[in-house]
Structure 1
Amino acid sequence: MKRYVGLWVLNRTMRNGIDLRKLRFFPDALSLPVKRDGLDPLPGLMKVQAEQPVKRLAELFGRGVWLVSGHDAAREVLSGGADTWSNDLGQFVSQEGRGEEEQIGGLGMTDPPLHTQLRRYLTPEFTMRRLARLQPSIEEIVRARLDAMEAASQGGQPVDVVEEFAFAIPFQVICDLLGLPVEDRSRFFELGVARFDLSGGGAGTFGAQAQTREFLIQAVKEQRHRPGDGLIGALIAEHGDELDDVTLGGIADGVFLGGYETSASMLALGTYLLATTPEAMRMLRSDAESVDRVIEELLRHLCVVQLAFLRFAKHDVVIGGMEIKEGDCVGVSLLAANRDPALGDGLDTFDPTREPTRHLAFGWGMHRCVGAELARMELRTALRMLAERFPDLAVAADIKDLEFRKLSAVYGVESLPVRLHATDDLAAV
């Protein structure tokens, strides 16, 4: 397995001269699935789903670009095997003059046998038994953030949930999981949001990725000599001879990619829905089954990962009655699929009492998020403790005044001011 991520990707030849790094902006014709109206999909996206759940959006670099928005068609694409689809984004990114830290890899962007090998290393670390050891530290992290929110609200002042709660919790959890030293975390914190911002096209996104990978590759090098007590140290101890620094840095980067921004956005937007839905707040203070029901409905309704990792057809294939040509690119709108009327009635609304649906918030098939159970653990713990500590939590701004991400693979809000107690409104006057 030596250097299999770096050299396997770096030595790939470019096909048809395509290089996504050269994109300096995100084409407007492709923006429909990564834009929203508040918390909801654009009306145009749901219109497309109703009329043509498998639709050819545009042509890019001589290839058709398709959007799949219907639930059944989405499941069909996501569950398709490596004989039909390739997730290898590295084939479309020139590596000329690039360092090893700028490679394109990770579970969501690689194919078997590479994908199989990567997942084999990670899966044992994300079993419920292994994750259970993190529960006490997650509770400690959440409790500390709730204390910080309380302190920041003295005098009835609004508190920014995004800064004080939503980003701080998953960041600390991921750092603990990876085993990153405390003194290195401030620099790592600065590298997060840009990974998912599409407004600068491919150049900005891949540049931000290179920085995080470089940071984590360096962390691996240091832990070769002083292993930490997290995932990086565990993989070095168990597979040290198989994994070089670039490979292990790439694995760590994939964990960061999947577990930081996504959980932060779910916590922020989830807090908004809880604060505006008293029944959901009550259910979170109830039994475990009620908590799980609220969390699953939040995942379905918000679906902050708007678009699944891109697939490229290895041969002509028919999906939803539409013929997709070999080499065409297919994007699956997880958000639209989760609101497909075929799954039930009223799915455009948030209903915490709803019977859980077969939502696709974590994807499906062999590329389903390996950290799904960790994400659920974080959400259950953080939002339950939030509801118990601040049962009268209220949003201190109109939704029209909130600044949402305009063009991002992971949807979120820049700031969310809240009042923690019912008396805060009087105290602030």
Structure 2
Amino acid sequence: MSSSAARAAVDAVWRSESARIVGALARYTGDFALAEDLAQEAVAEALVAWSVNGLPAEPVGWLLTAGRRRAIDMFRRRAAQDEKYALLARGLTWEEPGVDVLFNPEAIDDDVLTLMFIACHPVLSREARVALTLRVVGGMGTEEIARAFLVPVPTIQARITRAKKTLAAAHIPFAAPEVPDIPERLGSVLQVVYLIFSEGAFASGGDSWMRTELASEARRLARVLARLAPKPEVFGLLALMELTAARFPARLDPAGNPVLLEDQDRRRWDQSAVRRGRAALKTAVGAGRGLGAYGLQASIAECHAMARSAAETDWQRIVILYEALGQLTPSPVVELNRAVAVAMASGPSAGLAMVDSLADSGVLNGSHLLPTVRGELLTRLGRVREAKSALLEALRLCSNAAERAALERKISELPGQ
């Protein structure tokens, strides 16, 4: 096998099985940070060995065996200095690749779930949780993560290193949280997966309006979580992602320019994603506990998915859903979205009054979202001069190149321009 073929094989196995490998090694060593390092060393060893000997019959078992051997070597080196490791080292034996006792199918799901909870532990910053989740659960490299979030590679490396040190300093064990802690910790996991998806669906900066690979990775993580922790809000998040991603094929025109929801060719929407999203939402609703924030947003997305056009959308229902969402998780962005729905249901004047109230409060100062919506509503009301001023302010505040181009086109298309 050539070195390039070996790298492709290693990358494929790592991408799909990294969480299971790191989780099994963490269960074996009891040390999350050490397990991640051991897994990386095993990958480096595989790049050399597989190019010489070819792909093993059981690649995951091979990597686990390589990782465990390195752990044994390290424990034995420490044995003379540390009695705890000495006791562990005395019980260690070598195993042949492909028959790795670490690869216990009954423990794998628990390992992956535990990894997700550790990577999203409350002691870590939000940025660290995102980076660590993508690294150890998503199997993404630091360069990929850096490209996805438009930050330098050393920044991502530093975040991941600090996260590991923070977990070690806090003595976070490789163990699922206690039952009373699960709701809080699950919320953290869901928030991180949601943030990853949001950055993929609505890029905050750079040249592209979307980063579909990042959004796809978030959906994959949500599917894993739904299988391992089948809670209503997990299905609500999965439903939201699927129903939102269903619109991806129609969100860009052939030239790569953004296409707003009301102008999209709905025949291009991914109907299989719509069906998956509706099924997940039905599961969330079926729990009978009332929908959470993600489930309510998924219900809004479902309203769009089931309408044949913007005009035929049930905007009154969407207004009600945004009102419920605002009660559950008050947010100026939720209120701005409600204003858009009100404008569609009751006319632009009603929506503009809400937008102006938000502008007066100053809660969205510095965001391009409010002046963008305000400019659109003023345009519909024929107040061209005010609309141009609002859209120019949105252009000044927007950092995404594709979105800036869309704003520039909208300004150039204003009557009298």
The TM-score with structure 2 as length reference comes to 0.28
Q: Which structure ranks higher in relative contact order (CA pairs < 8 Å, sequence separation ≥ 6)?
A: 1
Structure 1 or 2: larger helix share?
2
Structure 1 or 2: larger strand share?
1
Structure possessing the higher radius of gyration over alpha carbons: 2
